[in-house]
């Protein structure tokens, strides 16, 4: 089971702070993906910061998005 992303906050270290529909907050490190395929474009800091919610996940311009299940499973829980 995965949860929809309800809020995203890009960080200067190329990670995302995500809030999911169940209220959990997690940090997802995008750095390992910045050398792969379409995600290479996100090395541009301005483009990376343009992240937004699209349907149930995060997306950027140029039709770049990320699987919400991977974000949930791969994110590190944040203490409130």
Q: How is residue 25 annotated by DSSP?
A: E
**CA–CA dist 16, 72 (Å, integer):** 11
The residue whose two tokens read 């311009």 is: 61
Provide the domain count of the chain. Answer: 1
Overall pTM > 0.85: yes
Average pLDDT of the segment spanning 2-8: 92
Residue 73: predicted pLDDT:
95
CATH number, residue 52: 3.30.2020.10
**CA–CA dist 41, 26 (Å, integer):** 23
Q: Which domain holds residue 72?
A: 5-77
**CA–CA dist 62, 74 (Å, integer):** 23
Kindly report, residue by residue over 25-54, the tens digit of the pLDDT: 999 999 999 999 999 999 999 999 999 999
């Amino acid at each position: 089971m995965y949860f929809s992303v309800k809020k995203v906050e890009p960080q200067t270290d190329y990670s995302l702070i995500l809030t999911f529909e169940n209220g959990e907050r997690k940090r997802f490190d995008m750095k390992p993906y910045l050398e792969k395929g379409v995600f290479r474009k996100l090395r541009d800091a301005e483009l990376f910061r343009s992240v937004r919610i699209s349907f149930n996940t995060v997306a950027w311009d140029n039709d770049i998005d990320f699987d919400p299940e991977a974000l949930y499973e791969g994110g590190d829980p944040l203490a409130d």
